[in-house]
Amino acid sequence: MVSDGKRKKRDRKSKTQTTLDPTSSTINDEVFSVNNVEIVNSTTPTSAKKHENRRGRPKKRPKHSPEKPEKPPPIINGEIGVAPPVEGVNRVVPEMDAVVKVFCVHTEPNLSLPWQRKRQYSSSSSGFVISGRRVLTNAHSVEHYTQVKLKKRGSDTKYLATVLAIGTECDIALLTVNDDEFWEGVSPVEFGELPALQDAVTVVGYPIGGDTISVTSGVVSRIEILSYVHGSTELLGLQIDAAINSGNSGGPAFNDKGECVGIAFQSLKHEDAENIGYVIPTPVIKHFIQDYERNGSYTGFPFLGIEWQKMENPDMRMAMGMKSDQKGVRIRRIDPTSPESEVLQPSDIILSFDRVDIANDGTVPFRHGERIGFSYLISQKYTGDNAVIKVLRNSTTLEFDIKLSTQRRLIPPHVKGKPPSYYIIAGFVFTTVSVPYLRSEYGKEYELEAPIKLLDKLLHSMPQSPDEQIVVVSQVLVADINIGYEDIVNTQVVAFNGKPVKNLKSLANMVENFDDEFLKFDLEYDQIVVLRTKTAKEATVDILTTHGIPSAISDDLKP
């Protein structure tokens, strides 16, 4: 997902949908793209405004009101032009020179034709300098990068950058520049605390509409757990009313003290919404940086491998044996591959997480007069940390010390720059299913166009083992050997010769080492594919030559 103006929009939401379902992986906030850019009055050039509405009837002026300038200068103690001070606030000018422009060349894998890559394209976004000779920007700004360059404000030189870490889930990337000249005269940005509602924010960056630095201002209008479009996850986020457009991605948001309180990363584009932008707050940014400093790489945000249900109904609480002073949420399902599956059980009531009580609606206290989803407490931990969970089971209170791990989904929401896996036999192209693959096959409306069984697995299925994958016949490269099978497209492979298919590597190994007369693939909907083993393997070589495919198996699957 790239915020730059030359990139197509990457979100996949229904045209009529405006809200996000926290239990679904459907994404509705749109990422910056030139297709989503809306012209707003605040960016209209001054020269254009002077010539607006020249034809037709002139504007009526209120009666008994003399003409006056649109913005009269303030008059204080008889002096004109002195700005009135705001009591208790000393506004500090942000460190503009620390904001840089990021130029990136991307080369995406072609998931529909996994043996090749797509045509490269360029993008530009924003970033800013932090301590330790490092630069922060968005992960989607450098996704599938082949080259990254940075340019300072007022400079005509682009400096080659090195990508140190990419946090896909939190949409943050860490860069550095080896050239000492880049760091001359640049002061790093200092981070501030999490702002309060109605606090003023200033977003700085290089958005579409010009080449120089741009500044927009607004206030914090909401603080809650948000859906991060690029990472397909939910973390703490800020909603602001400052204009965020294509190219603002990765730019800092400053408070009145000149401290950075977040990174601009996505906006909501909808006919019923105006100036709704989202900022990654400092707790998430600091978690990313400290994770990298502690481990030498990005390890991700931990998750509790459960699905839960609210306990707001009094009859349900009574039936579950909860006392009048007990509150919590009920566990619906547990991920079999998560550490929690060893101690937690379905229908357990989670009463608290790390000694913080959880309400019946799944929220916990958050600052004065505010509440937030208890997943915020989990996201403050690091991968491998321990947490104390108190549960109610059969009217008995139990406590467990659980080691937290990252989440693994049966259908991954992103491929993290890895080349796609594939295996070809007799023209049958086998590959694995991921969200980017569904986008590649069915476009932005893949939630409506993809096969219902794949969507059901995407939204509701959990992996039964750590290495489980959904393997499908992506397409059939037509040849004499596969006559009658040409219409098989994106159909899941359930078994090979009666043995369940666990993942693509196991399927490739079984086929390669099989010597019996017939290959038999069991597909979903009780379809089967039968091929003669000897002729199938012989035909594969000719099919690869015809389609210019260098290998019948991807490098990661080779023994």
Answer positive or negative: Cα dihedral of 109, 110, 112, 115. negative
Average pLDDT over residues 192-198: 93
For the chain, give the percent of residues with pLDDT over 70. Answer: 83
pLDDT in tens, 399-417: 999 999 998 899 999 887 7
Cα–Cα separations (whole angstroms), residue 96 to 40, 204, 264: 24, 8, 15
Q: What is the mean pLDDT of the chain?
A: 84
C-alpha 354: how far from chain center:
27
The residue among 132 and 243 whose pLDDT is bigger is 132
The structure tokens listed for 15 are: 């045209």
User: Cα–Cα distance between 443 and 397 in angstroms, integer?
Assistant: 49
User: Cα–Cα distance between 11 and 252 in angstroms, integer?
Assistant: 23
Q: Is 215 left (phi over 0), alpha (psi -120 to 50) or beta?
A: beta
Instruction: Judge whether 286 and 313 are in contact, CB under 8 Å.
Output: no
Average pLDDT over residues 349-361: 96
pLDDT of amino acid 39: 26
End-to-end CA distance of the chain: 33
Q: Does the pLDDT at position 252 exceed 90?
A: yes
Average pLDDT over residues 462-487: 95
Q: Does the pLDDT at position 72 exceed 70?
A: no
User: Cα–Cα distance between 537 and 514 in angstroms, integer?
Assistant: 11
pLDDT in tens, 258-299: 999 999 998 887 766 677 899 999 999 999 999 999 999 999
User: Cα–Cα distance between 434 and 421 in angstroms, integer?
Assistant: 11
pLDDT of amino acid 408: 87
**Per-residue H/E/C for 429-497:** EEEECCHHHHHHHHCCCHHHHCCHHHHHHHHHCCCCCCCCCCEEEEEECCCHHHCCCCCCCCEEEEEEC
pLDDT of amino acid 210: 83
Q: Does the pLDDT at position 133 exceed 90?
A: yes
Query: Can you list the domains of the chain with their CATH numbers?
Result: 88-296 (2.40.10.120), 302-406 (2.30.42.10), 422-547 (3.20.190.20)
Closest C-alpha to 301, from 405, 174, 225, 229: 405
User: Cα–Cα distance between 219 and 519 in angstroms, integer?
Assistant: 64
User: Cα–Cα distance between 488 and 469 in angstroms, integer?
Assistant: 19
User: Cα–Cα distance between 56 and 187 in angstroms, integer?
Assistant: 53
Q: What angle do CA 198, 200, 205 make, to 5 degrees?
A: 135
Q: The tokens 């968005």 sit on which residue?
A: 138
Tell me how far apart the 2 most distant CA atoms of the chain are, in Å: 101
Instruction: Judge whether 227 and 20 are in contact, CB under 8 Å.
Output: yes
The count of other CB atoms within 10 Å of the CB of residue 466 is 9
pLDDT of amino acid 91: 58
pLDDT of amino acid 557: 93
pLDDT in tens, 487-511: 999 999 999 999 999 999 999 999 9
User: Cα–Cα distance between 446 and 438 in angstroms, integer?
Assistant: 6
pTM for the model stands at: 0.80
pLDDT in tens, 30-67: 333 333 433 233 333 333 334 434 444 444 444 444 44
User: Cα–Cα distance between 425 and 392 in angstroms, integer?
Assistant: 53
Q: List active site positions.
A: 140, 171, 249
Closest C-alpha to 327, from 357, 300, 347: 357
User: Cα–Cα distance between 158 and 161 in angstroms, integer?
Assistant: 9
Q: Residue 115, CB half-sphere, CA atoms under 13 Å: how many?
A: 15
Q: Does the pLDDT at position 388 exceed 90?
A: yes
Q: Give 163's pLDDT tier (boundaries 50, 70, 90).
A: very high
Average pLDDT over residues 130-150: 95
3-state secondary structure of 397: strand
Instruction: Judge whether 531 and 481 are in contact, CB under 8 Å.
Output: yes
Q: Residue 52, CB half-sphere, CA atoms under 13 Å: how many?
A: 9
Instruction: Judge whether 182 and 150 are in contact, CB under 8 Å.
Output: yes
Q: Does the pLDDT at position 206 exceed 90?
A: yes
User: Cα–Cα distance between 276 and 19 in angstroms, integer?
Assistant: 13
DSSP annotation of 507: H
The count of other CB atoms within 10 Å of the CB of residue 489 is 12
Q: Does the pLDDT at position 90 exceed 90?
A: no
Instruction: Judge whether 391 and 348 are in contact, CB under 8 Å.
Output: yes
Question: What burial class does residue 433 get, using C-beta atoms within 10 Å of its C-beta: 0-12 exposed, 13-18 middle, 19+ buried?
Answer: buried
